Amino acid sequence: MTEFHELSALEASAKIKSGDLTAEALMRSCFERIDERDKLVGAWSYLDKDKAISEAIKSDKAGNPGRLGGLPVAVKDIMDTDDMPTTYGSTIYGNHQPSEDADCVKNVRTNGGIIIGKTVTTEFAWRNPGKTRNPNNAKHTPGGSSSGSAAGVADMQVPLAFGTQTAGSVIRPAAYCGVVGYKPTFGTHDRKGVKELSNYLDTVGTFARDVADVSLFDYALRGQSCPNLADYDNQPPVIGLMIPFSIEASKDALLAYENVYKKAEKAGASLVDIPSSMKFESLADLQTVIMTGDAGASLSWEYEHHPERLTRFYRDSIAIGKAISESALKNAKQLADDARKREASIFEKVDILLTLPASGEAPEGIDFTGDPLFNRVWTLLGWPCINVPAGVGSRRLPLGVQVVGSAGQDASALAAAAWLEKVLGNS
């Protein structure tokens, strides 16, 4: 029998609305799973079980209104919450209690979702990892910076969770943990109350166990109707095959990728090879410059007032960022703006791109969350990206493929990802 915590968000929502499940029972089931697995996985930075269950009981009494009515939602610990500490993954903010929710958290509550707790993030959503381990194999990283969110969803401790991405912090951990991660078009969600790393790049994203669930979550936050995920059922998508930095990809990742596009073609998709180039791949370097320059400004207070609390990486990187002149940073962003316009032509002949979300399976150890190389360019361009799980590699750890859509065409990208998910599930 399926335990309540194993239900997808949509399945749980349907049962809650039909009266076959209460928000309280779902919340209790999630906490039972957390109690069972938390010592091994370590996805959470803060939990208040009594408060979350109390909120679920209140939701039940009110009839669980809202599109997320009664559903537990995890919040990445760089997002402010007015009833839970927000540490940004740093000892500098160990007892920090914001006075109000981040806008994206407010949207969850407005839509009837219940905040179950705060998930572990790397420090300031950048490098320094927390305690979280990959639920598929605790000897391996879950990825970062949205470590706890990806691991918690993958381990069925919570159906929905927030992430953020500045380089690869949603897509890579989703790939490593084997869940759906969704980074929408840049600027989709208001970032007020989210700890800033790069104003030019930071994007609020989501995690769930299937494409329909991230669509439910994301579009509820937008206040818009869910896109039609069956758009490609009658006429499969035209898929552009493009792997920047393919030389850095593992054999397992490339084999999984080949398996996916062959199944897609067999199911009716048209494939178009789109070669990468050194010019395109150099955009990853531009992303690094912008991220570092912006971080030099956004983390200047921490650098100036608490340098002893920062690791050497942060002290050195912030110093490098502060040394980038305002004019040089402005020029880098102009080059990125130009690239966003220029590279949009890729989508003149294809509906979506299919690429890799990471170099391969999650690396061993939890001191390094993996290389975001396979995400940097797409984040710089601001395009919507979705990780779709695609089996396991030779070490029995998850692999994925990354669906990339054009700016603002999130509904089409999600529909293509849902079509691909169905093809992989049916094959």
Quick one: which of 359, 348, 410, 420 has its CA closest to 383?
410
Residue-level length of the chain? 427
DSSP-assigned states of every residue in 339-361:
HHHHGGGGGGS-SEEEE-SSSSS
Residue 345 to residue 353: CA distance in whole angstroms:
12
8 Å CB contact between 171 and 402: yes
8 Å CB contact between 62 and 134: no
Which two three-digit tokens encode residue 140?
């391996």
8 Å CB contact between 412 and 238: no
Active-site residue (options: 29, 45, 59, 76) = 76
CA 120 centroid distance within chain: 13
Residue 228 to residue 278: CA distance in whole angstroms:
37
Active-site residue (options: 13, 29, 149, 169) = 169
8 Å CB contact between 157 and 179: no
Residue 197 to residue 121: CA distance in whole angstroms:
13
Active-site residue (options: 29, 90, 145, 215) = 145
Amino acid at 336: A
Residue 392 to residue 401: CA distance in whole angstroms:
11
The SS3 call for residue 166 is: coil
The SS3 call for residue 140 is: strand
Residue that is written with structure tokens 């938390």 in the block: 38
Mark whether 76 is an active-site residue. yes
8 Å CB contact between 157 and 119: no
The residues annotated as belonging to the active site are 76, 145, 169
